[in-house]
Structure 1
Amino acid sequence: MTDQAQRLYLIDGSSYIYRAYYAIRQLSNSKGLATNAVLGFTNMLLKVVREEQPDHLAVIFDAKGPTFRKEIYPEYKANRSAMPEDLRPQIPLIKELVQAFNMPALELAGYEADDIIATLARRFAAEGMAVTVVTGDKDLMQIVDERIRLLDTMKDQVVGLEEVAERFGGTPDKVVEVQALAGDSSDNVPGVPGIGEKTARQLIQDFGSVENLLDNIDQVSGKKRQENLRQFGEQALLSKQLVTLVDDLNLEIDYEQLMISEPNREKLTGLFKELEFHKLLQEFSSDQRASGEGYRLVLTEAELNDMLAALQKAEMVAFDTETTSLDPLRADLVGLSFAIEAEQGWYVPVGHRYLGAPEQLDCQMVLDRLQPLLGDEKRVKVAQNGKYDLLVLRRAGLEVAGLSFDTMLASYLANPAAKSHSLDNLAGDLLGYRTISYSEVCGSGRNRIGFEEVEIEKALTYATEDADITLRLQQKLAPQLVESGQQQLFDEIEMPLLAVLADMEWAGIRIDSEFLNNLSKEMEGKMRTLEEEIHRIAGGPFNVASPKQLGEVLFERLDLPRGKKTKTGWSTDVEVLTKLAEEHDIAARILEYRSLAKLKSTYCDALPRLVHPDTGRIHTSFNQAVTATGRLSSSEPNLQNIPIRTEEGRRIREAFVPAEGNLLLAADYSQVELRILAHMADEPALKESFAQGEDIHTRTASEIFGVFLELVTPEMRRSAKTINFGVLYGMSAFGLAKSLGIGRKEAQEYIDSYFARYPKVLEFMEAKKEEGRQQGYVNTLFGRRCSVAEINSRNGAVRGYAERNAINYPIQGTAADIIKIAMVAISRRLQQEKLQTRMVLQVHDELVFDVPEGELDAVRSLVRKEMEGAASLSVPLLVDVGTGRNWREAH
C-alpha cells in the first residue's frame, strides 16, 4: 500500500456492534434505555477517524432477514444465540448516529456485510485506492492483497499478506479452501469432521484446493481421514460456497459518496442528549456558546464600586471562585465571578501571575469589600458545588453566609437518575448551552497550566460564564424541585447539611503518623513471612503480587482446580481464591497477603502523606451528590471503607486520635436499616421484637428454626443475621447458600420460612418493585427519589439488580436521610450552646466527634438525644455511644 494513494476505510459495523456490546456492560440513560453498545460503537468509530484520518469511509451492516447462504444451507448460523434483548433497541440508534456523523451506512437485503465489504474493497483497490477493512473477522482475510489490509482496532493489529500466510499457510485465496475443510463453529459451517485448521492448512498446501483434494483422496495419509473426505466431500464443497465472499455485487455508489464530511452537529446534539453521552456532547454539541458581550472585567476600584452597587440591589447573587487547586484547603484565590441576570456578569481577578499580566486589585481589599455582601445571611446566594467555594473563601479569610441554593444539589435531588450533575452537563441538558471547558483555557496533559497563568481576557469569559450559567440553572431547577416533591428535602436537609460538611472538612481529623509508620513495618514483616510460606507451598519463589505468575503457579504448577480465564491468563480474583481457600492453604495465605498489602498501601503508607502541612490533620472531602441513595461518600482519602471486621482494620482505626487533651466520641445507630424495614413493612413481629429490646437476630432465628429463644445456637443466630441483612439486599437462595455454605434447597427453605414468619416484609418487597416499575424510582420515608430506571430492562441481570435496589434503596436512603437530619440538628445545638466539640467524621451509620473532656457528658447526652430523635418511627431508634483516646476505643 502506498502512502500517496487515496485511503478508503470500510468498517464492519455488524461486528463492531457485538464487540461494543460486550466491551461495555450494563450502561443505560436515566430513562433506563440500554446505551452500552451505542457508546462503545461510537467510541470505536471515532477512534478510527481520529487515529487513521481516512479520506473516505463507509460503515457496513448486515441487513434484516435471511441471506442467500441460508437458502443454500438452512442450518447456516443456526447455532447462534438470539440477540440480547437489550441490544435490539440500540441498533437503530447506532445507525442513526452513523448517519448523524454524515458517514455512509450500507446494507443489502440477502447479503451479509462481508459481501458488501468484499465488493467495495475489490472495486476500489482495482482503481488504485488503498483500502483498510476495519474488522476482527477472519473471513475477510480472503480479500487481502497488496492494496487491501485488515485492521483490528480493539487489538491494534494489522493483517496483510504476511499475516494471512502465517495464519492460513498460503496466499489469501487459500483462506476459503482451509475454512471449507475446517469449518467454522461460530457460523455453523460444517466442514469435514476430524479436520481442524492445522490439518486443513497442510492438506491445502499439498493439494492446492478442495476440489483437487477430493479428486486425489487416495493420496491422503490415514484411512480414517480418507473415509471422512469421501463421506463429507460434498459438505466441504458446500462449506466452501458458504465461506466464499461475494465480491461483485451491483452497488450503485461511487467513491465521492464515501468522502468524510462534517458531522451534523444538530442531530448529534439531540442524540447525545437523549443518550446522556456528556463527554461526546461537549465535543460535538451545536448548542449556543457564550458571546461574553455582557461580561465585565473588574480591574479598578471604581469598577469594583459599580459591581458592588449592582450586587447590593439584586434579589439573588450567583458567585464562583477560580483557584490554584482542586483541594479547597490548599487553593489560593485567583479570581471571583458574579452574576445577577442572564448573560451579564463580572470577573474580579486577584491572583493572575504571568508575564505581562495587568495590575489587579489587592485580594484582601476585595474580600473586605465583599464581606458585608457575602457574609449577609439574609442575602440569597447561589453556587454550583458551593461547599468548595465556602472553604476556599474561608481559607482566604471571608465567611460566606446565606448560601441558599446549590445547583449541583438541586439537580441531584430533582434528577436522581442523571449520571452527572456537573455545571457543563447541566448547562447542556437544561439550557441547551455549551460551556467553555477547563481544558480550553488551561490546556491538557503536559501543556496544562494553572489558572493563575491564564490570560485575564481569556479567564473573563470562562469564569463569568460559570456564575452566569449557575444563575440560569437555578431558575430552571427551582421549579423542578417543587414538581418532583424534593423542595423540603432540599431546604431542610441537603442545604443545611452543606454548611455542616464544610465545617467538618475544615476541622479535619488528627492521625498518629508514627503509629501508622510502625504498623506499616509490622504489616511488612507479616507479608514477608506469608510470602515465604506461599513460596514454600508453591515449591519455589515467584512474584506473589503478579496475577499472571500467580495463575501459572496455582493452575499449572500446582494443578489446582481451574476457574475462569482472562485475556492475560488465569483469573486469581477474590472469588476464585476464596473458593480455593476452602481446601487449599496457599489460597488462604494469598488472600491474607493481599489484604495486608492493600491495608498497608491504602492507609498505613498513604494517610501520613495526606496530612495537611498547616493543620497537621487529614481533611477528607464528603461527597453529597454521588450515591443513588443519598448516602454520603468520602474521598481523598476515602475513610468509609476502613474495614471494621478484621483485626488489622481495627488497628488502623487506632491511628485516628483527638486533639491534645480531648477524647473521641463515636455514636452509631444500632441496626438502623432493620428498624426502618420493620417500620416501612409494618411487620408486627419485627416491631414487637424491637419494642421489647430483643436481639433481632436471635428472635429471627427462633422464628425460622422453630425453637425457643433460649435454644438458639450461635450458628442459628449467624444464619438469621445473614438472612435479615440478605433480605434488605434482595438476596436469592443461591446467594444465601453461597454465603452460609449450605445447599440451595436448604437456603430456599430458610427464605420461605422467613417470609412465612414475616409476611409483611414480602408484601413490602413486592410493593417496592412494583413502585419502581411504575415510576422508575422509589422513595425514602422523607420523599427522596432513588432512581431504579433499569428495572424494566430487557436484560435479566440488569433488571434483577434494579429490582434488588428497589427493595434496598428506600431503606438505605431513609437511613441516610435520618443521619443527615441528626448531623444538622447536632451541629446547630453545638453552635447554640457554644461548645468546642467538633463533628469530624461520618461513616455510614456512625458519627465521630472530637470532644474536650469537660464537655463529654453534655455532648454524649446531646448526641444521643438528637440522633435518636431524628425520625419518628413505629420502632425506637437506638444509638450506641462510646468514647476513647482513639477511634477504635471509641467505637
Structure 2
Amino acid sequence: MTDQAQRIYLIDGSSYIYRAYYAIRQLSNSKGLATNAVYGFTNMLLKVVRDEQPDHLAVIFDAKGPTFRKEIYPEYKANRSAMPEDLRPQIPVIKELVKAFNMPALELEGYEADDIIATLARRFAERGMAVTVVTGDKDLMQVVSERVRLLDTMKDQVVGLAEVAERFGGTPDKVVEVQALAGDSSDNVPGVPGIGEKTARTLIAQFGTLENLLANIDQVSGKKRQENLRQFGEQARLSKKLVSLVDDLSLDVDYDNFDLSEPNHEALTHLFKELEFHKLLQEFSSDERASGEHYQTVVTEDQLDDLIHALKKAGRFAFDTETTSLVATRADLVGISFAIKPGEGWYLPVGHRYLGVPEQLDRALVIDKLRPLMADTQLAKIAQNAKYDLLVLRRAGLEVAGLSCDTMLASYLANPAAKSHGLDTLASELLGYRTIGYTEVTGKGKKQIGFEEVEIEKATVYATEDADITLRLADKLEPQLAETGQGELFRTVELPLVTVLSDMEWQGVRIDADFLKGLSADMKTRLATLEGEIHELSGRSFNVASPKQLGEVLFEHLKLPRGKKTKTGWSTDVEVLTNLAEEHPIAARVLDYRSVAKLKSTYCDALPKLIHPDTGRIHTSFNQAVTATGRLSSSDPNLQNIPIRTEEGRRIREAFVPAEGNLLLAADYSQVELRILAHMADEPALKESFAHGEDIHARTASEIFGVFLELVTPEMRRQAKTINFGVLYGMSAFGLAKSLGIARKEAQTYIDNYFARYPKVLEFMEAKKAEAREKQYVTTLLGRRCAVPEIASKNGAVRGYAERNAINYPIQGSAADIIKVAMLRIHERLKAEKLETKMVLQVHDELVFDMPAAEQAAVENLVREQMEHAFELDVPLLVDMGVGRNWREAH
C-alpha cells in the first residue's frame, strides 16, 4: 500500500465489543450500569483515530437475528454461550457513542459484519484505495491483498500478505481452504475430524484446493485420514461455505459516506456524563468555559486592602491556593485566589518566578495582612480539599479557622456512589461547566513548567476559576447534604475532622532511618537465602522475581499441577502459589521471597526517602474522600497496609518512634466490628457474650461445635474466629471451606449452626441486602450512606460482591464513624487541657500518640474515656492500650 493512496479504515465493531468487555472487568457508573465494554470500545476507537489519523472510517456491526449461515447450518455458532447479561445493555450505548462521534456505522440483516467488511474492502481496493481492516479476527485474513491489510490495535499487530502466508501457508485465497478442513471450534464450524490447522495447511499446500484434495484422496498419506476425508468430504464443503465471506453485497454506500467529521460534542458530553467517563469528558465536553472577564489580579497594597474589605463585608468566601508541589508539607505558596460571587474573583500572586515577571506584593506583607481575616472564626470559608490548603497556608505562616464547607467532602457524603469528587468532575456534573485543565497552563511532559513559572495573567484566570467554581459548588452541594440526610454528619464529623487531620499531618511521625537501613540489609540477606533455597529446590538458577521465568520453572521444568496460562505466560499469582504449596515446598519459599521483597522495597527502602528534610519525620496524607465506607486511607506513604502477622512486618513497626524522650501510646478498639454487629443485629446471644466479657471466638466455637466452653480447643477457636469475621464479609460456604481447608459441606454445616445460634444476625444480613436493593445504598449508625449500586448488576459475580458489601459496609462504616468521633473528642481534650501529647497516626481501628512520659497516666485515661464512649452501643466498647519506645512495643 502506498502512502499516496486514499486511506479508509473499516472497524470490526462486533468483534471489538466482546474484546473490550473481556479486557476490562467490573467497571460501572454510580447507578450500577456496567460500562466496561463501552469504555474499552471507546478507547479503541480513539486509538485508531489518534494513531492512524484516518480521514475515512466506518464501524461495522453484526445485525440482530440469524444470518444465512444459520440457515444452511443450524448448528453454526451453536456452541457459543449466551451474551453476558451485563453486556447486552451496553451495545446500544456503544452504537450511540459511534453516532455521537459522527462515525458512519453499518449493519445488514442476514449477514455478519465480516461480510460487509469483505465487500467494502474488495470494492475500495479495486478502486486503488488503501484499506485497513481493524480487527483481531483471523477469518478476515482472507480479504488481505496488496491494498488491504489487517490491524489489531489491542496487540499492535499488522497482518499483510507475509503474515497470511506464515499462518496459512499461502495466499489469502488459501485461508478458506485451510479452514474448511480444520474447522473453527469458536464458530462451531465442523471441518474434518482429525485434521487441525497445521495438517490442513500441509494438505492445501500439496493439493491447492479442497476440491482437488477430495478428488485425489488416494494420494493422501494415512488410511485413517483418507477415510475421514471420504466420510466428511461434504462436511468440509459445508464448512467452506460457512467460512467464506460474502464480498459482493449490494451496499448503498460509497467512499464519501465515510468521511470522518468533527464529533458531536454536545451528544458526547451527555453520554460521558451519564457513563461517568471523566477524562474523556474533559477532552470532548461542550460545557461552558471561563471568560475571566471579572477576574482581577491583586498586585498593589491598595488592591489587597480593598480585597480584604470585600471579603470581610461578604462574610463568606471561597479560597484556593496555588503552589509548587502536590505534597502540602513541602509546597511553597505561589498565590491565593478568592471568590464571593459566581463569575467574579481575585488572584493574589506572591511567588511567580520567570523572566519578565511583573512586580508582586511582598509575601510577608500579604501574610501579615491576611492573618486576622483567615483566623476569624466568624468569617465562613469554603474550599475544595481544604486540608491541603490549610497545610499550605500553615507552612506559609497562616492559620485558617471558620471552615464552613469543603466541597470535596460535601460531594463525598451527598453522592457516595460518584467515582470522583475532584473539582473538574464536580464542575462538569453539577454546573455544566468545563474547567481549565492544569496542563493547559503548565504544558505536559518534558516541557511542563511549575506553576510558579506560569504567566500571572494566565494564572489569574486558572486560579480564580477554582475559587469561583468552589463557591458555586458549595451552593449546589449544601442543599444536597440536607436532602440526603448527611448534613449533620458533615457538620459534626467530617468537616471538623479536616482540622484534626491537618494537625496530624503537620506533626508527622518520627522514623528511625538507621534501624530501617539495618533491617533492609537483614532482608537482603534473607532474600539471598530464600533465593538459594528456591534454586536448590528447582534444580536450576533463574530470576525468582521474574513471573515469566518462575512460571516456566514451576510448570514446564518441574511440571507441577494446577497451572493456568494467561496472555503473557503462566500465572504465578498468590492464589496459584498458595495452592501449589500443598504440592511442593518451592511455592511456599516463593511466597516468602515475595513478601520479604515487598516489605524491603515498600517500607525499608522507601520510608527513609520520605523523611522531611526540615522535620526529620514522615508526613503521610490522610484521605477522607476515598473509601466506600468512610474509613480513612493514607498515602505517600500508605501506612494502612503494614502487615502485623509476619515477623518482618512487625519489625517494620519498630522503626516508628516518638520524639526524643517521649513514648508512643497505641490504642486499638477490641473486636469493634463484631460488637457493632451485635448491636446492629440486636442479637441477644452475642450481646450477652460481650456484656459478660467472654472470649467471643471461644463462645462461638462452643455454640457451633456443640461443646462446653471449657472444652473448646485452640483449633476450634481459630475456626470460629474465621467464621465470626467471615460473616461480616458475607463469606460463602465455598469461601469458608477454602479459608479453613475443609470440605464445602462441612463449612456449610458450620454456617448453618452459626445462624441457628445467632438467628438475628441472619435477619440483619437479609435486611441489609433488601435495603441495598431498594435504595442502592446502606447506612451506618451515624447515618452515613455507603453506596452499593452494583447490587442491581446483571452479572452474578458483581451482584454477589455488592451483596457482601451491603452486609459489611454498615458495620465497617460504623466503626469508621466511631473512631472519627473519638479522634475529634481526643483532639479537643488534648488542646483544652494543654497537653503536649500529639495524635500522629490512625490505622484502621487504632490510634497512635507521641507522648511525653510525664503525661502517660492522664493521656491513657483521656484516650480510653473518649474512645470507649464515642458512641453508646448495647455492648461495651473496649480499647486495648500499650506504651513503648516504638510502635511495635506499644502495639
**TM-score normalised to structure 2 length:** 1.00
Q: Which residue of 2 aligns with 1:579?
A: 579
Deviations along 1:680-705, one digit per CA (max 9) or x if unpaired, are 00000000000000000000000001
SS at match of 2:317: strand
Q: In the TM superposition, what is the alpha-carbon distance from 1:250 to its structure 2 partner?
A: 0.6
Aligned partner of residue 851 in structure 2, secondary structure: strand
> Which residue of 1 is the match for residue 456 of structure 2?
456
Matched residue, 2:42: 42
Letter in 1 for 2:840: V
Distance in 2, matches of 1:740 and 1:877, equals 29
Partner of 1:165: 165
User: Offset of 1:445 from its aligned partner?
Assistant: 1.2
Q: CA deviation at 1:781?
A: 0.7
Distance in 1 separating the partners of 2:575 and 2:194:
38
Deviation track 1:373-415 (CA, whole Å, cap 9, x = no partner) reads 1110111000000000000000001101111200000000000
1:258 paired residue number = 258
Q: Provide Cα deviations, 1:439-498, integer angstroms capped at 9, x if missing partner.
A: 111111111110001111111110000000000000000000000000000000000111
When structure 1 is superposed on structure 2, of 574-583 and 829-838 the one drifting more is 574-583
Displacement of 1:582 in angstroms is 2.2
- Match of 1:520, SS state, is helix
2:431 match: 431
Q: Which residue of 1 aligns with 2:859?
A: 859
Q: Residue by residue, what CA displacement relative to the aligned partner does 1:101-147 show, whole Å, maximum 9, x if unpaired?
A: 00001100000000000111111111111000000000000010011
CA offsets 1:573-631 (integer angstroms, 9 cap, x no match): 11111111123111111111111111111111111111000000010000000000000
Q: CA deviation at 1:315?
A: 2.7
Which amino acid is the alignment partner of residue 705 of structure 2?
F
Structure 1 portions without partners, runs of 5+: none
The answer to whether structure 1 residue 726 and structure 2 residue 726 are counterparts is yes
Kindly provide the amino acid, as one letter, of the partner of residue 467 in structure 2: A
Partner of 2:356: 356
Amino acid at match of 1:804: R
The residue number in structure 1 matching 2:125 is 125
The 2-side partners of 1:475 and 1:883 are apart by 47
Which amino acid in the other structure matches residue 376 of structure 1? D
Q: How does 1:487-498 map to 2 (within 5 A)?
A: 487-498=487-498
Please tell me whether residue 640 in structure 1 is matched to residue 640 in structure 2.
Answer: yes
Letter in 2 for 1:651: R
Letter in 1 for 2:474: Q
One-letter amino acid matched to 2:542:
F
What residue is the counterpart of 2:224 in the other structure? 224
Residue 292 of structure 2 corresponds to 292
> Which amino acid counterpart does residue 613 of structure 1 have in structure 2?
P
Match of 1:11 in 2: 11
Alignment of structure 1 residues 154-553 onto 2, 5 Å: 154-553=154-553
SS at 2:330's partner residue?
coil
Kept after mapping to 1: 8 A contact 2:182/2:196: yes
1:695 matched to 2:695? The reply is: yes
Match of 1:660 in 2: 660
* Partner Cα distance (1:439, 1:43) in 2: 21
1:679 and 2:657 equivalent?
A: no
What secondary structure does 1:116 align onto?
Answer: helix
Correspondence for 1:882: 882
Q: Report the equivalent of 1:612.
A: 612
TM-score normalized by the length of structure 1: 1.00
**CA separation in 2, counterparts of 1:598 and 1:199?**
48
Partner of 2:63: 63
SS in 2 for 1:381: strand
Q: Distance in 1 between matches of 2:840 and 2:757?
A: 42
What's the CA shift for 1:29? 0.4
Shift of 1:844: 0.2
Deviation at 1:215, TM superposition (A): 1.2
Query: What do residues 5-60 of structure 1 show as CA deviations (whole Å, max 9, x unaligned)?
Result: 11100000000000000011001000000000000000000000000000100000
Give the CA deviation at 1:432: 0.3
Moved more, 864-873 or 362-371: 362-371
1:356 is matched by which residue type in structure 2? G
Q: Distance between the aligned counterparts of 2:481 and 2:165, measured in 1? A: 65
Distance 2:348 2:817 in 1: 38
1:146 aligned partner: 146
- In the alignment, the residues of structure 1 paired with residue 517 and residue 221 of structure 2 have an alpha-carbon distance, to the nearest angstrom, of 71
1:740 aligns with 2:756: no
Q: Identify the residue that residue 705 of structure 1 maps to in structure 2.
A: 705
Measure, in 1, the Cα distance between the counterparts of 2:463 and 2:249.
57
Letter in 2 for 1:601: S
Q: Which amino acid aligns with 1:125?
A: A
Return the alpha-carbon distance in structure 1 between the equivalents of residues 70 and 571 of structure 2: 39
- Asked if the contact 2:562–2:580 (Cα under 8 Å) also holds between the matched residues in 1, the reply is no
Give SS of 1:881's match: strand
Residue 567 (structure 1) aligns with: 567
1:343-382 Cα shifts (integer Å, max 9, x gaps): 0000011111011111111111111111111110111000
- The RMSD of aligned alpha carbons is 0.6
CA-CA distance at 1:293 after TM superposition: 0.4
Q: Following the alignment from structure 2 to structure 1, what is the Cα–Cα distance between the partners of residues 743 and 298?
A: 73
- Which runs of 5 or more structure 2 residues have no equivalent in the other structure? none
- Which residue of structure 1 lines up, in the alignment, with residue 25 of structure 2? 25
Structure 2 SS opposite 1:526: helix
Instruction: Tell me how far apart the structure 1 counterparts of residues 540 and 179 of structure 2 sit (CA, whole Å).
Output: 44
User: In the alignment, residue 378 of structure 1 is paired with which amino acid?
Assistant: Q
Give the Cα–Cα distance (whole angstroms) in 2 for the partners of residues 644 and 802 of structure 1: 28
Q: For residues 235 and 754 of structure 1, what CA distance do their matches in structure 2 show?
A: 59
Corresponding residue number in structure 1 for 2:814: 814
Could you list the structure 1 runs, at least 4 aligned residues long, displaced by more than 4 angstroms after superposition.
Answer: none
**Larger mean Cα displacement after TM superposition, 300-309 or 504-513:** 300-309
The residue type equivalent to 2:211 in the other structure is E
Can you list the C-alpha shifts for 1:865-885, whole angstroms capped at 9, x where unaligned? 000000011000000111011
What's the secondary structure of 1:329's corresponding residue?
Answer: helix
* Offset, 1:554: 1.1
Q: Aligned letter for 1:36?
A: N
Q: Give the Cα separation in 1 of the matches to 2:653 and 2:542.
A: 33
| Number of the residue aligned with 1:108 | 108
Cα distance in 1 for partners of 2:77, 2:862 equals 71
List per-residue Cα deviations over 1:313-341 (Å, max 9, x = no partner): 11311000000000111111111000000
Amino acid at match of 2:60: I
Task: Give the AA of the match of 2:337.
Answer: S
Q: 1:803 aligns to what?
A: 803
SS of 2:221's partner is: coil
Secondary structure in 1 matching 2:613: coil
Q: Which residue of 1 aligns with 2:755?
A: 755
Q: Which moved more, 1:416-425 or 1:579-588?
A: 579-588
Measured in 1, the distance between the counterparts of 2:441 and 2:609 equals 31
Distance 1:535 1:137 in 2: 42
Deviations 1:280-315 (A, max 9, x none): 000000000001001001111122122112111113
Take 2:254 and 2:578, find their aligned partners in 1: how far apart are those partners?
60
Task: Verify the 8 A CA contact 2:315 2:378 in the aligned structure 1.
Answer: no
SS in 2 for 1:883: strand
Q: Structure 1 counterpart of 2:848, which letter?
A: V
Task: Give the secondary structure class of the aligned counterpart of 2:883.
Answer: strand
Tell me the CA shift for residue 749 of structure 1. Answer: 0.3
Name the amino acid aligned to 2:440.
E
Shift of the alpha carbon at 1:151?
0.2
Q: Corresponding residue for 2:82?
A: 82
Measure the CA separation in 2 of the matches of 1:96 and 1:387: 41
